[in-house]
Amino acid sequence: MKFLVPSADTIRQYGFVIIVNLSVFTTGMNLGWPSPVLVKLRDPDQTPLPRPITENEGSWLVSVGFLCGAVTNLGVGWLLDTIGRKYSILLTTLLKFLTALLFIFSTQVWMLIFGRAIVMSLETLLFSAVPVYSSEIANKDQRGALGTLLQISVSLGTVVSLSVGPYTSYVTFNIVVACAIAITMIPLLFLPDSPYYLHSKGRIEESRAVLTLIRGSETLVEEEIDGYEKAKESKVDVSKMALIRNRMFRKSLILGLMLGIGTSLLGFTAVTFYLQTILETTGVSLQPEISSVISGVIQLVGSACSTPITRNFARKSILKISLTGYAIGMICLGVFFRVTEPEDFVIEGFLNYLPIISLVTVIFCFNVGIGSLYFLIVAELFDDIGRAFGFSIFLATTTFLTFFVTRYFSPVTNILGPAVTYWIFSGFTVMLIIFITLFLPETKGKTFSEIQQSLGNSTKNDNVEKGLRK
């Protein structure tokens, strides 16, 4: 039996992208942070605050960062193009570390809410910078597999939070988070910036050196440099308004926004943040702490499975099949809460396991499909000229919607009941499947130019002729 040995340039591509995703590992820790911490902050014996937090304060603690991120991410494109992909990631990681220190010494609820506003704004910036860097490092054959490393890193960080958080004190857990951020920041110092960014700033030889390192072929290097030159010619004097007036940019933006809006309305982030709280409300015999760890491990397994699946199957097929499983999981979760609504209902037998089975299905299907692919696909939809700007608009919009869902998940659940809430999420999932089937182009195995051609854009020069210049 023969095993394919990856080439040296492929190994280097994986090495660079793994290192840059270390920063996203701590993003996963911060995304998993509310699940164990909210329980501690509501417990008079565990909270570091003078009093337990209220439900309203808890919902703001979970959601406020996304509201702030929706505003700050409008400037992500400018930041990526001004200081570069690498230093944008380094800057946000450093500020994350300082915020982690604030959490350790917080004694008032406003300090926690302020800290979460800062840290989640930074995390949403990372969700823009890391996919852009990864897509510009990877060649077209490795782009799909490398793009899934982001969700694997997030999932691994979430597993650590769900495994450590419930079994340590509030202060100890936040010390662990701060140490993880500091450790993962060190390798970032030795990364090169993306070759596309270096070329755009006139650092041609540096760009060529990085490309030679990660492509392993002079022919491929020259082809990519030639593509950069054409992009640079098209980019001269391009304004943001000119991009917005361009038909192909608008088409890419609408597709990206629809995919992002649909993903935000699935409710996965809200379910993750309130995971331990949800499990406590089910009343089943499984301990919530153990169930949340199991769910976190399933999230990691789903993300890990996404890499070989993405390499071997079409993007659209993966999305449609995984979203179908996600919708089924949400429906079953709603069925459990509807069946167990009566106060005198005794949960026994299979019903003890239905909530965790449903959550595991939801978590696995999200991470093996849409959770691992939608950032990658959105980055692929834009050409070189509009990628940073278009991605920042996409991220700002979806971040605001994530704030809306996480902020009002708890009160809406109290008003409508958990069953109806989860069924609403399943309805949005079905709508997203229909959108993907009818409108989303297949991007697997295509260069950025080929993707633009599938959208109806023949060449970058056509963009210039159609008004990309001022």
pLDDT of residue 232: 65
**pLDDT given for residue 112 in this prediction:** 93
Q: Are 39 and 277 in contact (CB under 8 A)?
A: yes
How many C-beta neighbours within 10 Å does residue 219 have?
8
Range of the domain at 299: 8-191+237-468
What's phi and psi for 266, nearest 5 deg? -70, -25
* pLDDT for the residue 283: 57
CATH label of the domain that carries residue 428 = 1.20.1250.20
User: Is the separation of the CB atoms in 178 and 164 below 8 Å?
Assistant: no
The model's pTM is: 0.71
Query: Is 196 domain-assigned?
Result: no
* Structural contact between residues 199 and 190, judged by C-beta atoms closer than 8 angstroms: no
> Is 154 within a domain?
yes
Report H helices in 274-353: 275-282, 288-312, 315-339
Identity of the residue numbered 54: T
Q: Is residue 255 part of a domain?
A: yes
In a domain, 94, yes or no: yes
Q: Report pLDDT for 469.
A: 46
| C-alpha distance from residue 131 to each of 75, 95, 440, 464 (Å) | 16, 20, 19, 26
Hey, is 391 helix, strand or coil? Answer: helix
| Sequence-distant (≥ 6) Cβ neighbours of residue 371 within 8 angstroms | 151, 263, 268, 302, 303
- Note whether residue 427 is domain-resident: yes
Within a domain: 211: no
Helices within 138-169 (DSSP H only): 143-147, 149-164
Residue with tokens 């004190």: 169
State the Cα angle at 10 between 216 and 306, rounded to 5°.
155
What residues form DSSP beta bridges with 238? 469
Per the listing, tokens 């299905």 go with 361
Is 215 domain-assigned? no
Q: Token digits for 364?
A: 């696995």
The residue among 460, 432, 435, 461 whose CA lies nearest residue 447 is: 460
- Domain total for the chain? 1
- Please give the C-alpha separations between residue 85 and each of 79, 118, 127, 195, in angstroms, as whole numbers: 8, 20, 12, 10
Under 8 Å between Cβ of 137 and 214: yes
Torsion angle, alpha carbons of 213, 214, 220, 223, to 10: -90
pLDDT for residue 187: 92
Amino acid at 309: I
Domain-located, residue 282: yes
- Cα separation of 263 and 268, whole Å? 8
Which CA distances in Å does 92 have to 127, 274, 374, 386? 11, 26, 22, 23
- From the first residue on, what is the mean pLDDT of each consecutive set of 10 residues in the chain (470 residues)? 61 86 90 86 90 87 80 76 88 93 93 91 83 80 71 85 88 94 92 85 84 78 76 60 81 89 85 65 61 75 81 88 94 86 74 81 88 80 76 80 81 85 93 92 76 65 46
